[in-house]
Amino acid sequence: MSSSTPVTRARPGSAQELLLIALPLMISFGSQSVMSFIDRVFLTWYSSSALAATMPASMLNWSIISFAMGVANYTGTFVAQYEGAGRKERVVHVMWQSVWLCLSLGFLLALFALAAPFIFGLAGHPADVQQDEVTYFSTLCLGTPAALLMTSLSGFFSGRGQTAVVMWVNLFAVAINLIFDYLLIFGFVSVPALGIWGAALATVFSNCLACLIFTGLIMLEASRKKYPLREEFGFDYELCQRMLYYGLAMGLQIFVDIFGLTIFLFFVGKLGTTALAATNLAFNLNSLAFIPMLGLGTAVMTLVGRRVGEQNPDLAETTVRHALQLGCTYMGLWCVAYLLIPKLLIAPFRAYAAGEEFAEIEATAIILMRFIAIYGMFDVLAIVFGYALRGAGDALYPFLLFLSASVFCLIIPSAVIWYVWNGNLYGTWSVVTFYLFSVGVGMWWRYRQGKWKSMSVIERDVIV
C-alpha cells in the first residue's frame, strides 16, 4: 500500500500532495534566483564589465562542479526510495556516503581556481571583463566543498518530503547573502568596495552557514525520529559506487548542458561587451522563471522516487501529470511577461546603471527575451519529464540526450554561425531555442515509452 508523505498527510498522487512538496522547493529555488538577480543588479550598478563577467564565470564554475553536484543532487532520490521502502538505516547510510563523496570531490575541484587565468585567457574577452571573470570564478571554486555539502545535506529533508525545512534554511541563507552582497560589493565602514570579488565571497559565506544549519537540524531530526545517525557513520564502498554511477550520470548531463551554454556565451563574448551583457541580463531574467521550476522538478523526482520504492508507478504518473499542468501555468505567465512588460522587468537593472551605455544593452535584451518566451514551455517538458525519469533511476538517457543535443544542436551550429557567417547574436539565440526544443521533446518521448516504471536505484531485496 502506498502511504502519504509523512509531512503532508495528503492523499498520495493528489495535486495537494504535489503542491505541499513542490511549493516550498519552488520558493527555495526561487530565493536562489532572486539572490542571483539582485546580485547582478548590484554588479550592474558597480560596472558593466562586472555584469558581463558573472555569467561566463558562474556557468564555467557550474560546468566544472556539475559532476559532483549530480552526486549531491541524487542523494534525495536514494533517500526517497529507501524512505518509501521503510528503511531508516539506509536513509542515514546514504546521507553519510554522500557527505564523504561531496567533501572529497569538493576539495579536489577547488584546485581549478589555479587554472582561472589560463582558462579565461583563451576566451579573448575584453581585459577588464577577463579580470573580473578570473576573480569571480576562482572564488566560487574555492567554495565548492560548501556548495556540494549544502546540496547533499538538504537531500535528507527533501527526499523525505520535509521540503519546508529546505525552504526556510535557504531563505535564511539568501537573506544573509544579500546583506553581505551589498556590503562587500560597495564597501562599508573600514571595508573597501570589493566589487565582483565581494559578490563571490558573500555566496561562499552563505553556503557555509547553510551547511552548519542543516547539520544541526539533521542531528535534531535523527534524535527525534530515531534515525541511527551514529551507527551508520561508516564508509560503504558498494553504495558509494552505486551513488557515483547514478550521480555522475546526472552530473554529466548537467555538465554537457552547461558546458554547451558556456561555449555559446564565449561565442557571444566575441561580439563585444554590449552583446554579452545583454545576453547575461536576459538569462538572469529567465532565471527568475527557470530556477523555481527546478524546485518543481525536485519535488517530482522525490515523489516518483517514493512511489518507485513503494512499487506504485501509477501514482507516479498521476503526480507527473499534475506537475506538467502546474509547470505550464507558471512558465506560461512568465512568457507573457517577457513579451508584454520587458521594460518593467529590466527596470531594477536600469536604476543606477550608466545611461547611454545601458540603453543599448536594454534594447538588445528586450529582443532576446522574445526568444525566452518561445523556448520557455520546452523547458517545462525537459524539467518535469527529465526529473521524473531521474526519480525512477533512469539517469543514463537524460545524459545521452543532453550530450547529443549539446553537440549537434548547440555547439556545432553556434560555431558555424560564428566562423562561417562571422557571428550573429540573434542567430546564436535561435540555435539555443532549437536546442531546448530538442531536449524537451526528447524527454517527453522517453517518458512516454514507460521503461522508467521498472527501474530503481536501491537494492531489489529491500523494496517492500
Long-range contacts of 218-222 (CB under 8 A, 24+ apart): 218/95, 218/153, 218/156, 221/156, 221/157, 221/162, 222/92
pLDDT of residue 457 exceeding 50:
yes
Domain extents for the chain? 15-462
Instruction: For 309-351, write each residue's pLDDT tens digit.
Output: 788 888 889 999 999 999 999 999 999 999 999 999 888 777 6
Residue 8 pLDDT exceeds 70: no
Across residues 12-33, what is the average pLDDT?
Answer: 83
The pLDDT value recorded for residue 424 is 81
Question: What is the pLDDT at residue 172?
Answer: 92
Predicted pLDDT of residue 3: 45
Which residues touch 420 (CB under 8 Å, ≥6 apart)?
none
pLDDT digits (tens, 9 = 90+) for 210-225: 999 999 999 998 888 8
Per the confidence metrics, is the pTM higher than 0.75?
Answer: yes
Burial pattern 408-432, b for ≥16 Cβ within 10 A else e, equals: ebbbebbeebbeeeebebeebbbbb
